Structure 1
Amino acid sequence: MTRISAAFLPLTDSAVLIAAREKGFAAEQDIALDLIRSESWATLRDRLVYGQVQAAHMLAPLAIAVTLGLSQHPAALSAPFKLSVNGNVFVMGTAFAAALDPDIARRIGDPIATAHDFAGAIGLYRRKPVIGIVHRFSCHALLLRYWLGYAGIDPDRDLVLRVLPPSLMGAALEAGEIDGFIAGEPWSTVAVQAGLAEIVMVGARVWQRGVEKVLAMRTGWMEDNAEVVDRLLLALDRAAAWCDDPAHHGELAELLSRPDYVGRPPEAILPTLTGRLVARPGDASVEVPATILFHREAVGFPWRSHALWIYSQLVRWGMAEPSPEAERQAADVFRSDIYRRALAGTGAPMPGASLKVEGALSEPMGVGSHSAGLVLGPDRFFDGRVFDPADIDGYLAAFRR
């Protein structure tokens, strides 16, 4: 049996790795999967870069940033599998949230109006709001910037962004060290259930089917262990299908609630899985379809256009210098070729292309694939923009007009 160590953070979107181990999908592929819990993304990054683990549940932008040499320890990383899309929630303390639309369903359902409300509330606040983010190079931070930028907010001028591990966000909010935070679930739900915060924005309403966590590996190790990688991806694909089945959500929440995994009660984990979020203490739940997805619509497929959207935002916000080489390196982190190799012959719906125009689908649509039955869900950005990976310069120029 092949032993593989994988690092993860205590988050709902670690579910696929946990299910692969606990439900036997890894063992079926003759893999002994050891899961190493980390509390911060910096620690997880270092464990992967320095070879303490072979794989990691990683922020998609962090994998790209490490490869581009933007993070502390440069290394060539590859992501042959996406572990989830969506799953982020932005909350603010109840005092700040009182200045926003009191109709929670409308607040969540209309991110354009809420972005403008948020901008107005900043002007009324006693100081620059301090917002917790889990890492500079995270989809959480990039989505927050994208959303607030629409309303004319410059996060580097109008806010203080403070990096904290997701599991410590609630304590920091309670202590008054931050005024709100954006993090992967269940930590926003935990803060709401504790009476500390209200939901302001849900990532799934800013970018439907937005990229989130990936399975990251050191590129050299991945290429030297092709047969092992293929078996691991087969196990993860089966685990992802199990996680996405509503019939398993109760059991999955129980698995994740164990102290060595997420360590929070099932009732804090289930809302994200079911898409019924409690947005304000004591309120009824709000329906947010596709709050998090693990498998359907070929979620696991690493679209190179997702990687290039991340690259575009790193350039937009001055975190990366644009160049043809950096653009190529960023796209190459997402290894759709490895995904295709591993799942070939399984009958899994497989996109026929590796890039697509992001934000163009407002309704589910059948697309060309190497097997029948692939339907992609809506992938709209809240502001109606589309991202064409063939015209990154034009896309970025539109933000400067």
Structure 2
Amino acid sequence: MTHRIAAGIMPLLDSAILVAAREKGFAEAEGLDLHLVREISWANIRDRMAVGHFDVAHMLAPMPIACNLGMTPLATPTLAPMALGLGGNAVTVSVALWQKMADAGSVGDLDPTTAGRALRATIAAVAKAGRPTLRFGVVHPHSGHNYELRYWLAASGIDPDRDVEIVILPPPLMADAIGAGRIDGYCAGEPWNTAAVAKGLGHIATVKAAIWKSSPEKVLGVAAPWAEANPGELAALLRALYRSAEWCAQPGNREELAGLLSCPHYLDCPVDWLLPALSGQIRSGAGTVQVDDFFLPQAKAATFPWKSHALWFYSQMVRWGQINATAENAAKALDTYRPDLYRSALKPLGVALPGANAKVEGALTSPTPVGSAGASLVLGPDGFFDGKVFDPDAIDAYLKSQQVRD
């Protein structure tokens, strides 16, 4: 018997694991008919999950937490039993802004420290000249994009709430918004940074993989009522997605994967826009830069739903005034990510699993072998560019340390 699962996706590179699970037969091998529905915005993904159109979805990693904390309209209790890879985002700026940043010392190597220093100097010059505040786009208030952009800005001495304006746009519109002069920069997933470079509209200033190495981005969001009613189907889906992630991670499959994703019913874009992120050969607009681990679909426990990731996102919700810090809210955030379901589903596969459900984020400075169930596993590096670490057992102390740097 085949079980149908309706899944919402966005036109982004990191929908790859879901797309390949359907197109390469991994879902079918688990007895599943994985029906993928492309949406145009993250709000639509969230709302269609809430009204029962989707059983599961390609979802922003903080979004299930926001749903469970009651931060969104039409929210339904949502689980995150699996991550859909690490990294994959970049910060792109307009050609005009890039020229100003280059004049202020940015050299096009995607280094967040140098780029941040140049952007700070540019913002100061803009303010001194009395010109309009620079405007940056992110894809949703409860997104890794919003939090990593804010983190980078703040660590660079730029107040995200005073020194710039942050607005919301769907990722496929970002490049054209820069071209139309509606925004000066944005943080989005691939291929929509490469798109701006290819169109001659923007330059990539820095990347998520440099702001926070091995950092979380998307998860499999699962409607809690559906998960409770269909535990076997959920476990089968997690196994299918794990096998799909293994396939996506193979260098020899990059061309085929890019071809699948580029189809009109998925990303509807040129194959050439997808290959840079898959290879790590990022075309910044100032040249090609090799970025190790730009997007990881499978290595380094890339699909494991770390509870410390959930708590870091919660800490940023608190930091930027989206929610109050309470023990109850922290517990809800913690309980959203479900490594227990991941472990249970993958146990029959005998694959490498982390020995813990949380870790100190930013503590690994090099690839590190760790204890795991069934096979060897390497984690890290996972450092933040400013050298800070996040201890999930010391959130209050972490928040006190998170000030805009002078």
Query: What TM-score does the superposition give when structure 2 sets the normalisation length?
Result: 0.96
**1:48-101 residue CA offsets vs partner (Å, 9 max, x unmatched):** 111101000000111111110111223211000100110001111011111223
One of 267, 289, 292 as aligned partner of 2:292 = 289
Q: Shift in Å at residue 226 of structure 1?
A: 0.7
1:360 partnered with 2:350: no
1:276 aligns with 2:281: yes
Task: Please provide the CA RMSD for this pair.
Answer: 1.4
Secondary structure of 1:344's partner? helix
The structural deviation recorded for 1:32 is 0.4
User: What do residues 327-357 of structure 1 show as CA deviations (whole Å, max 9, x unaligned)?
Assistant: 0100111100000000003121011110100
Query: Following TM superposition, by how much is the alpha carbon of 1:315 offset from its aligned partner in structure 2, in angstroms?
Result: 0.5
| Percent of aligned pairs sharing the same letter | 45
| One-letter identity of the residue aligned with 2:174 | M
The runs of 5 or more residues in structure 1 that have no matched partner are: none
Match of 2:347 in 1: 344
Where do 1:390-401 residues align within 5 Å? 390-400=393-403
Q: Aligned partners of 2:104 and 2:211: how far apart in 1?
A: 18
Contact 1:90 1:199 in 2 (8 A): yes
Report 1:65-76 matches (<5 A).
65-76=66-77
Per the alignment, residue 244 of structure 2 pairs with 239
Q: Name 1:47's counterpart in structure 2.
A: 48
Which whole-Å deviations, capped at 9, do the CAs of 1:254-307 have from their partners, x for residues lacking one?
000000001111100000000001101xx5311111110111112111000000
Quote how far apart the aligned CAs of 1:399 are.
2.0
1: distance between equivalents of 2:164 and 2:104? 25
Aligned to 1:217: 222
SS at match of 2:178: helix
Q: Quick check: 1:307–1:334 contact (8 Å CA) kept in 2?
A: yes
**Match in the other structure for 1:168:** 173
* Aligned-partner SS, 2:34: strand
Residues 1:334 and 2:334 are matched in the alignment: no
Which aligned pairs between 1:25-44 and structure 2 lie closer than 5 A? 25-44=26-45
CA distance in 2: counterparts of 1:218 and 1:345, whole angstroms: 24
Tell me which of 163, 167, 184 is aligned to 1:179: 184
Contact 2:105 2:114 in 1 (8 A): no
Query: What SS does the aligned partner of 1:158 have?
Result: coil
Give distance in 1, aligned partners of 2:250 and 2:312. 29
Cα distance, 1:390 vs structure 2: 0.5
Classify the secondary structure of the residue corresponding to 1:248.
Answer: helix
Q: Deviations over 1:7-26 (max 9, x none)?
A: 00000000000000000000
Q: Secondary structure at the match of 2:215?
A: coil
Q: Is the 8 A contact 1:107 1:113 kept in 2?
A: no
Instruction: Give the 3-state SS of the residue equivalent to 1:157 in structure 2.
Output: coil
Q: Name the counterpart of 2:78.
A: 77
Return the offset for 1:104: 10
Paired position in structure 2 for 1:197? 202
What is the CA–CA distance in structure 2 between the aligned matches of 1:265 and 1:109, rounded to whole Å?
Answer: 24
The answer to whether structure 1 residue 119 and structure 2 residue 120 are counterparts is: yes
- Distance (whole Å) between structure 1 residues aligned to residue 116 and residue 273 of structure 2: 26
User: 1:172-229 deviations in whole A, cap 9, x for unaligned?
Assistant: 1111111111100000100111000001110100000110000001112112211000
Higher mean Cα deviation, 231-240 or 123-132? 123-132
C-alpha separation in 2, matches of 1:3 and 1:202: 37
Following superposition, the deviation at residue 110 of structure 1 comes to 2.8
Q: Residue 108 of structure 1 contacts residue 202 of structure 1 at CA under 8 Å; is this kept in 2?
A: no
Q: Are the structure 2 counterparts of residues 339 and 104 from structure 1 closer, same or farther at C-alpha, using a change threshold of 3 Å?
A: farther
Q: State the partner residue of 1:370.
A: 373
Q: Closer, same or farther in 2 for the Cα pair 1:180/1:400, shift >3 Å? A: closer
Q: Matches of 2:403 and 2:145 in 1, distance apart?
A: 22
TM-score scaled to structure 1, two decimals?
0.97
Instruction: Classify 1:110/1:336 alpha carbon distance in 2 versus 1 (closer, same or farther; 3 Å).
Output: same
Query: What is aligned with 1:208?
Result: 213
1:248-327 mapped onto 2 (5 Å cutoff): 248-280=253-285, 283-327=286-330
Change in 2 beyond 3 A, CA 1:243/1:104 = farther
Deviations 1:211-254 (A, max 9, x none): 00000011121122110000000000000000011100000000
Gaps of 5+ in 2: none
Cα 1:139–1:262 shift into 2, 3 Å: same
Q: 2:18 matched to which residue of 1?
A: 17
Aligned partner of 1:3: which letter? Answer: R
In structure 1, how many angstroms separate the alpha carbons of the residues matched to 2:301 and 2:374?
12
1:371–1:11 Cα change, 3 Å: same
